[in-house]
């Protein structure tokens, strides 16, 4: 049984999709949960209410991880509310898919700044309090796109591959203080985005996945909960693929 009682988690972009599922899972295991959101205040309020319904404290913080000052402010707000951050989940991410020859500079920049730079700024902001506590769990949400690359996703694949490098560098730098850093690499997961894909494309994606189905956000959240727990205390610098066998490395 994973026990996160007494722990505080901070999740970037935690109001919907995978981030929301992670927040609910960590709260269900006993953690209090702070999460950032960019603009959808209604979704943020709903998620905070769902976390509180599980008997845990919740804090929704509006912020944009692309901005280092905003990332600092998100971390500061969580620390002021809860006094500590034991678990950081860098989940914030966007897509702006296009072929390389057609991809605009803005689409390249926006994805890198959100998916990779944002994780760096938030990690940087929690480093000092975690070092002081001599403990912490940092979990980055990467992707199979960062492991294998995807056509039309040069920006997204680059950012998610960069997250893997950031994970390993963070793990090496912080290990001596008892802080671990790992990544979870989801495969094709049922979210608002994938549910709207054409049926023939969904069938192709399922056919490519050895286990023959999409994953669920709850399955991604379960992997995060494990890496956040004491059971994973001797695991750092690793990439845990939750992809139905799609990328075997």
State yes or no: pLDDT of 9 exceeds 70: yes
pLDDT score, position 103: 96
Catalytic position from the list 156, 163, 214, 223: 156
What pLDDT score was predicted for residue 44? 97
pLDDT at 96: 93
Question: How confident is the model at residue 190, as a pLDDT?
Answer: 82
Q: Give me the pLDDT at residue 193, please.
A: 64
Would the pLDDT of 196 be above 80?
no
Looking at every residue in the chain, the average pLDDT score rounds to 95
- For residues 24 and 50, is the Cβ–Cβ distance under 8 A? yes
Task: Work out the pLDDT band at 219, boundaries 50, 70, 90.
Answer: very high
User: What torsion do the CA atoms of 21, 24, 30, 36 make, to the nearest 10 degrees?
Assistant: 90
The yes-or-no verdict on residue 123 having pLDDT over 90 is: yes
Which conformational region is residue 223 in: left (phi greater than 0), alpha (psi within -120 to 50 degrees), or beta?
alpha
For residues 187-205, give the mean pLDDT: 81
Q: Per-residue pLDDT tens for 39-88? A: 899 999 999 999 999 999 999 999 999 999 999 999 999 999 999 999 99
Convert the pLDDT of each residue in 79-118 to its tens digit: 999 999 999 999 999 999 999 999 999 999 999 999 999 9
- Is 156 catalytic? The answer is yes
What is the predicted pLDDT for the residue at 249?
A: 66
Task: Give the mean pLDDT of 10-26.
Answer: 97
Residue 143 pLDDT exceeds 90: yes
Residues in the chain: 249
Helices (H) and strands (E) in the chain, counts: 10, 7
Kindly list the distances between the CA atom of residue 191 and the CA atoms of 125, 145, 197, 214, 217, in Å, as whole numbers in the listed order: 29, 16, 10, 10, 7
Query: What is the arithmetic mean of pLDDT over 218-236?
Result: 98
pLDDT of residue 142 exceeding 80: yes
Helix, strand or coil for residue 177? helix
């Amino acid at each position: 049984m994973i026990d996160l009682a007494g722990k505080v988690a901070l999740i970037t972009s935690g109001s919907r999709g995978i981030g929301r599922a992670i927040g609910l899972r960590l709260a269900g295991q006993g953690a209090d949960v702070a999460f950032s959101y960019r603009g959808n205040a209604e979704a943020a309020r709903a998620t905070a209410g769902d976390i509180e319904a599980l008997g845990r404290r919740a804090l929704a913080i509006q912020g944009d991880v692309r901005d280092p000052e905003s990332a600092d402010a998100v971390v500061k707000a969580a620390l002021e509310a809860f006094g500590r951050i034991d678990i950081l989940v860098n989940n914030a991410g966007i897509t702006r898919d296009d072929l390389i020859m057609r991809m605009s500079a803005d689409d390249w920049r926006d994805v890198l700044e959100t998916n990779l730079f944002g994780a760096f700024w938030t990690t940087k902001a929690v480093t000092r309090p975690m070092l002081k506590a001599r403990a912490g769990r940092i979990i980055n949400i990467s992707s199979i796109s960062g492991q294998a690359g995807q056509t039309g996703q040069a920006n997204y694949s680059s950012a998610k591959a960069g997250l893997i490098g950031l994970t390993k560098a963070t793990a090496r730098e912080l290990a001596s203080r008892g802080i671990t850093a790992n990544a979870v690499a989801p495969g094709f997961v049922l979210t608002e985005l994938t549910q709207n894909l054409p049926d023939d494309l969904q069938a192709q994606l399922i056919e490519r996945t050895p286990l023959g189905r999409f994953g669920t956000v709850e399955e991604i959240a379960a992997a995060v909960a494990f890496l956040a727990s004491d059971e994973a205390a001797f695991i750092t610098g690793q990439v845990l693929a939750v992809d139905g066998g799609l990328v075997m490395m």
